[in-house]
């Protein structure tokens, strides 16, 4: 039984909302994880897929065929970088570095607190 009466559980309604989603929601739907090499290089775990990105599937037999695959089932192996995408990567990496420092006490502050 559904909990929220304001959200529909009708399958056709959900499909319609999925396929007619606005760009800010579609960006989340079309995101996929980044390979380990790119993750170390750019400090980013996932990115929205674009047209010229290279992706790798887990069980590929080597042939090139256009098939519909969900974005969460692939890994991005090569990013197509333009100036806007470089800005996005820099912004994400910067926030990632700030997040590592956030909430952690350094030795100097601990010593000052104990005195």
Domains of the chain by residue range: 13-112
* Residue 109 phi, psi dihedral angles, 5° rounding: -70, -35
End-to-end CA distance of the chain: 57
CATH match for 13-112 among 3.40.190.290, 2.30.30.30, 2.60.40.3880, 2.40.128.110: 2.30.30.30
pLDDT digits (tens, 9 = 90+) for 12-70: 999 999 999 999 999 999 999 999 999 999 999 999 998 888 888 766 566 666 667 88
73 vs 109 pLDDT, higher one:
73
User: What pTM did the predictor assign?
Assistant: 0.67
Q: What would the pLDDT profile of 58-95 be if each residue is shown by its tens digit?
A: 665 666 666 678 888 888 999 999 999 999 999 988 88
Instruction: Work out the mean pLDDT of the chain and round it to a whole number.
Output: 85
């Amino acid at each position: 039984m559904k909990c929220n009466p304001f959200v529909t559980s009708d399958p056709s309604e959900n499909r319609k909302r999925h396929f007619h989603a606005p760009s800010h929601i579609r960006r989340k739907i079309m995101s996929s994880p980044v390979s380990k090499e790119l993750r170390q290089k750019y400090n980013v775990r996932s990115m929205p897929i674009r047209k010229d990105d290279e992706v790798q599937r887990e069980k590929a037999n080597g042939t090139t065929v256009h098939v519909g695959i969900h974005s969460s089932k692939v890994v991005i192996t090569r990013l197509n970088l333009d100036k806007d995408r470089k800005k996005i990567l820099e912004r994400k990496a910067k926030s990632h570095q700030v997040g590592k420092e956030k909430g952690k006490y350094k030795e100097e502050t601990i010593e000052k607190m104990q005195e």
